[in-house]
Amino acid sequence: MTQPHCDLSGASLSITGLSTGYGGKAIVSGLDLAPIEPGAVVSLLGPNAAGKTTLLRSLAGLQPATGSVRLGDQELLSLSLAGHARIVTYMPQSLPQRVALTVLEGVIGAIRASPVGDGNLSDGDIVDRALEVIERVGIGHLAMSGLNHLSGGQRQLASLAQALVREPRVLLLDEPISALDLHYQLRVMKLVRQLAKERGMIVLMVLHDLAIAARWSDRVVLLAGGQVVADGTPEQAITAQVLADVYRVQARVEPGPSGLNIAIEDVL
Ligand SMILES: Nc1ncnc2c1ncn2[C@@H]1O[C@H](COP(=O)(O)OP(=O)(O)OP(=O)(O)O)[C@@H](O)[C@H]1O
Ligand SMILES: [Mg+2]
pLDDT per residue as tens digits for the range 162-204: 999 999 999 999 999 999 999 999 999 999 999 999 999 999 9
Residue having the nearest C-alpha atom to atom 3 of ligand 1: 22
Residues 75-89: pLDDT tens digits?
999 999 999 999 999
d(CA 60, ligand 2 centre) in Å: 14
Residues 116-137: what's their mean pLDDT? Answer: 92
Ligand nearest to the CA of 225: 1
On whether the CB atoms of residues 181 and 153 are closer than 8 A, the answer is yes
Domain segments of the chain: what residues?
10-87+168-233, 95-166
Residue 7 region, left (φ>0) first, then alpha (ψ -120 to 50), else beta? beta
CB neighbour list of residue 57: distance below 8 Å, 6 or more residues apart? 20, 63, 90
Calculate the alpha carbon distances from 90 to 51, 102, 250 in Å. Answer: 16, 21, 33
Top-level class of domain 10-87+168-233: alpha beta
Model confidence, pTM: 0.95
50 lines ligand 1 (CB under 6 A): yes
Residues 35-76: pLDDT tens digits?
999 999 999 999 999 999 999 999 999 999 999 999 999 999
Tell me what pLDDT residue 2 has. Answer: 47
d(CA 175, ligand 2 centre) in Å: 7
Ligand nearest to the CA of 47: 1
